[in-house]
Structure 1
Amino acid sequence: MAEPVFTGGCQCGAVRYSWGAALVSVPGAQLAWTCGRPAEFRSSAIVARGFCASCGTPLHMKEDGDPIFEIAIGTLDNPELAPPTEQAGVEAELSWFKSMPDLPRQRTQDYRTLEDLAKLRSLQHPDHDTRDWPPSKSSP
């Protein structure tokens, strides 16, 4: 992974609305798309938001004229390599945000039945390169 310019969360309304997750800022010259190129949507006069045209996953935000891409950390092949180091846009932080570490925690299997879990089949691109995408309907 390229050396990040920023890793963290942004509390501003625009980022919260578009993906609500941590992000990593990477110079475009150091960025490699491994499965096609993102489709883009102009979310304002100066911002383009990239997403996967096959599955709709939000991927990035980029301001016109800025070489930096803001990438959703969860879309990285190894998100553990980009732990948050700071927060931005804190003036728009939601009042309950700081209480999140104190909330009860549960695993997916704690609230889904085994039958439900067996039905779950992600249609999003996996966190590794694939020869063919999207998978055929008969793929597991």
Structure 2
Amino acid sequence: MTQTMTGGCQCGRIRYTAQVEPDDAYLCHCKMCRKATGGVSIAFANVPLDKVAWHTEPDWYRSSPIAHRPFCSHCGTPLGFAFLEGGENIDLTVGSFDDPTPFRPRRNYATESMLTAWTDVRHLPGMTSAENPNVVKRWEEAGLQPPE
């Protein structure tokens, strides 16, 4: 079911509204996306271009001969991926949505580049930010609580 959702960059300079299908997100494992985001993969929601309204136009960089990527030049947040020509859709980064919880991954893309050691990490011990005294101290000194 299509939902109207909002998102943007970490510093708040770039904002958007999009009509999305949260049940149809995917993980891209290609080497270019890994380099562009610094992650082991990136979660995307593929959205028709005419269903995205940028409240503030993002910065763009040409990431390859066939594509460019929206981002915020102030805070560095990666916001998506789009083909330079002939693309009717844009991939928006799931993490840039204000509430990414409705999204569900339905497929993996570029599996030839998948870092399989990172595909299932449920067996690893976990810690919340609030359990890290070093982080808590720094946030408290800044007059704030650790973010979720």
User: For this structure pair, what is the TM-score category when the shorter chain's length is used for normalisation?
Assistant: 0.7 to 0.9
What is the CA-CA distance between 1:3 and the residue it aligns to? Answer: 3.2
Given that 1:109 and 1:117 are in contact with CA atoms closer than 8 Å, whether structure 2 keeps it comes out as: no
State the SS of the aligned residue for 2:32: helix
The answer to whether the aligner puts 1:4 opposite 2:21 as a matched pair is yes
Structure 1 unmatched ranges of 5 or more: 122-140
Deviations 1:102-129 (A, max 9, x none): 21111012224332122569xxxxxxxx
RMSD between superposed Cα atoms in Å = 2.1
**Worse overlay, 80-89 or 64-73:** 80-89
Contact in 2 for aligned 1:7/1:84 (Cα 8 Å): yes
Within 5 Å, give how 1:1-140 maps onto structure 2: 1=4, 2-4=19-21, 6-19=24-37, 20=39, 21-34=42-55, 36-64=56-84, 65-113=86-134, 114-119=136-141
Measured at CA, do residues 81 and 99 of structure 1 come closer, stay the same or move farther in structure 2, by a change above 3 Å?
closer
Q: Distance in 2 between matches of 1:120 and 1:71?
A: 32
SS at match of 1:58: coil
> What are structure 2's unaligned runs of at least 5 residues?
5-18, 144-148
1: CA distance between counterparts of 2:123 and 2:106? 20
Structure richer in strand, relative to its length: 2
Offset at 1:85? Answer: 1.8
Normalising by structure 1, report the TM-score: 0.75
- Stretches (4+) displaced over 6 A: none
